[in-house]
Structure 1
Amino acid sequence: MNDNSKVLIGLLAGLAAGAALGLLLAPEKGTDTRDRLSQSLKDLGDSIKDKAADEINNLANLKDKVVSSVKSKINHEADAYADETEHA
């Protein structure tokens, strides 16, 4: 499990624990508490979506770098092979 997964799991566990304690100890009306909890969950969802989009972009960039590197190595080897066949 990578560090990002551990952070996400910890964040979700902390959110759940905080929500449970908040509901038990809240001095507010139930509707206000539910509204705040709903907004917190929406914010968390937005945060997770943003993080996922960032990670997808990072993976896409990594893929592009790997493809470019492999193509460069293939071209280099093809050129070396062509040089060898010309001199043979």
Structure 2
Amino acid sequence: MSNNAGNTLIALLTGAAIGAGIGILFAPDKGSRTREKFRDGYDDAKKDLKHKFESASDELKSKLAFTKNYDLQETYDDLISNVSHKAEDVISFLESKLAELKEQNAKLQK
């Protein structure tokens, strides 16, 4: 989970706990009604937490997909670059061998 999502989760849980504690301490209602309000608040916090988790999960999946695609493209580019360098090396080697063969052929033609 990203650092921002983790901080948001901690803030949400801390706020829910503080709000629940204050609500219970200053509640003028009967216990059953207070428990009902607490349950409703818990359900709301649970839904909000679930939404934030799904959002963070989707964001993480998106970033991973981008990273995989980026890494694949970077690997492909590196491979093409390396092959190009190797091709240049082979061409240089063949040119030097061709030059040697031309020299040997010239000596034989004299």
Alignment identity in percent?
24
1:19 paired residue number: 20
| More RCO (CA 8 Å, sep 6+) | 2
Q: Which residue of 2 aligns with 1:39?
A: 40
Q: What displacement does 1:3 show?
A: 4.1
- Structure 1 stretches (4+) deviating beyond 6 angstroms? none
Across the aligned residues of Structure 1 and Structure 2, the Cα RMSD in angstroms comes to: 1.7
Q: 1:24 to 1:57 in 2, by over 3 A?
A: same
TM-score by length of 1: 0.82
Which residue of structure 1 lines up, in the alignment, with residue 104 of structure 2?
A: none
Give the TM-score normalised by the residue count of structure 2.
0.68
1:26 is matched by which residue type in structure 2? A
Which residue in the other structure is 2:7 paired with?
6
Q: Distance between the aligned counterparts of 1:3 and 1:40, measured in 2?
A: 24
- Quickly say closer, same or farther: Cα 1:66–1:16, change in 2 above 3 A: same
Shift of 1:4: 3.6
* Number of equivalenced pairs: 87
Shift of 1:24: 2.4
The structure-2 alpha-carbon separation of the partners of 1:6 and 1:69, relative to structure 1 and needing over 3 Å to count, comes to: closer
Deviates more, 1:61-70 or 1:24-33: 24-33
Q: What is the rounded CA distance, in whole Å, between the counterparts of 2:4 and 2:84 in structure 1?
A: 47
Q: Which runs of 5+ in 1 are unaligned?
A: none
Amino acid at match of 1:13: T
